[in-house]
Amino acid sequence: MVNRESERHPQHGGRFVLERAHDRSGLCYLARAHLADGSTLETMLELLQPEGIHFDPELEDHAWAREQLIKLARVLRRDPKHRLSRWRG
């Protein structure tokens, strides 16, 4: 039997999954960060015009994860997808 929870959490860094929120206007994504410590962060990420990004809730205590999500938001701003998943070390 495969342990799906362990597949989500890497040994180092994090696995980031962003899925388009269809019930919101504009470019909004439900963002999940599965971190190596076994925790999962969840926030709504909204891409504001022209270059702004809004987190709800804010990720004040998780600067590294927040920075990685900002980088992925730039990718989605250039090429909006329904889902984006990336590993970051």
pLDDT tens, position by position, for the chain (89 residues)?
333 444 666 788 899 999 999 776 678 999 999 999 999 999 999 999 888 999 999 998 999 999 999 999 999 999 999 999 999 88
The structure's pTM equals 0.84
Give the pLDDT of residue 5. Answer: 47
73 near 45, Cβ under 8 Å?
A: yes
Report the C-alpha gap between 39 and 47 in whole angstroms: 25
